[in-house]
Amino acid sequence: MRKLLQEISVIPGVTGSCIFDKKEGPLCKLMQQEFSEEDLETVGIHLVRLVQMGGMAGLSIRSSHFRFDRYTLIGIPLDDDSILVTICDAQANCSLVSTTASMLAQDMRSDLQNSQSLDISLDQEETSEEDETFLHQLYDEIEQALAAAMGPVAALVMNDCLEQWRQNGPAIPGRISELITTLAMEIGNTELADEFRQRVEKLL
């Protein structure tokens, strides 16, 4: 996998490349120090969500290009949860980078399928049938409150945060406050986040 990333990294203007997985974060990367781990996480999760939103609309995104003041970002989906992220200089030749990366992406997909062992076994406390019914109703209502703050991307954010929440402990009503805190942090606007919290608190 690293060898494939190196083939991308030698293209003029490329400052780094990474295979980013929604659950695991960066799986393999060749990056310059100036692009932080936190920035990479933010870019990666937003690119994955963009691909998923396209899928919800029946669109299969082959690649996405974003030209910013300091960088150009190119994302190529590898599967539903992972994406090849290439970071270039702002004025890099996106066509050249994208063509090369797309040619290598199929090999990366094969490597991912062969090496993927992302099945997570969770030791979760038994949840009563009554609690499960309550939680599923609550999830729907929380998602509606989140949609009021974030719009249509709320469904993707809710799924991501629910998955993370379940991995960190048992899915029980007593841990709902952790989920709400995580969702509020995703909103990115203090006023909207406060409104979201107020709406959710009325449900509890």
Give the tens place of pLDDT for each residue, 89-100. 888 888 888 888
Q: Are residues 93 and 162 in the same domain?
A: no
Residue 124 clears pLDDT 50, i.e. is over it: no
Q: Are residues 103 and 193 in the same domain?
A: no
61-84 tens-digit pLDDT: 888 888 888 888 899 998 878 899
Residue 166 clears pLDDT 70, i.e. is over it: yes
Give the pLDDT confidence score for residue 146 in this predicted structure.
Answer: 92
| Domain count of the fold of the chain | 2
Q: Which domain holds residue 47?
A: 2-114
CA distance 76 to 85: 7
Q: Are residues 90 and 14 in the same domain?
A: yes
Report pTM. Answer: 0.57
Q: Beta 14-21 vs 71-77: how paired, if at all?
A: unpaired
Domain-ending residue, one of 87, 114, 141:
114
Give the pLDDT confidence score for residue 127 in this predicted structure.
Answer: 53
Average the pLDDT over 16-25 and give the result.
Answer: 85
